[in-house]
Amino acid sequence: FKTGSPEKFAAALHEQLLIWSLPQKEAERSAARQPERISSFPTAGVFIFRHPQPDGLNFVCKGGNNQELHNHNDVGSFSIACGSPQPVVGDLGGTVYTRDTFTNKRYENKLLCSYGHPVPFIDETPQSPGKGTQAKVLKFAENGSQAEVVFDIRKAYCKLKGVKTLERRFCYDFSG
């Protein structure tokens, strides 16, 4: 799977995640193999954790950057689903696209900016759009019963001065 840049990879990954979440026909479901417990895409900063039971808790977290195609200013966000591909916690979902969606007014839409995503607001400041907002994967580890991802998300808040450390840590426990 060769895409060139991390942005192209992230766009291709996003497309695949949308396709994977579409409902399957009953025959396809019974013939499908059990998905991997962990899918990691460190270049794009995306990590997916799946519970072995069909009704278990599934979790996805995203580092990425705020200059990706179809961007939402959501570096360090996550979604949680339980027994369904539809998230119960996380990204608030889609919006009605208008002409303004593709102009400099894009982030006035609360679903497209940090307000529509589970990311920190520091001193009431949302994330900045554009270049230089790349999260860094500081750690990805798993030991069979747990998995952990740590992102440095400081660059997504480049408007804030004096922030020396800003990390987002996610830990998934497969046993419960």
User: Collapsing DSSP states into helix, strand and coil, what is residue 62?
Assistant: strand
Locus of tokens 């500081």: 138
Phi and psi at 12, nearest 5°, equal -65, -40
> pLDDT by residue (tens digit) across 64-82?
998 887 778 889 999 888 8
- The whole-number pLDDT of residue 39 equals 92
User: Collapsing DSSP states into helix, strand and coil, what is residue 13?
Assistant: helix
- Is residue 62 within 8 Å of 91, Cβ to Cβ? no
> pLDDT by residue (tens digit) across 124-151?
888 998 889 999 999 999 998 899 999 9
Over its C-alpha atoms, the chain yields an Rg (Å, rounded) of 17
d(CA 108, CA 126): 12
> pLDDT by residue (tens digit) across 33-43?
566 889 999 88
| Sheet with 167-173, side-by-side order of all strands | 136-142, 146-152, 167-173
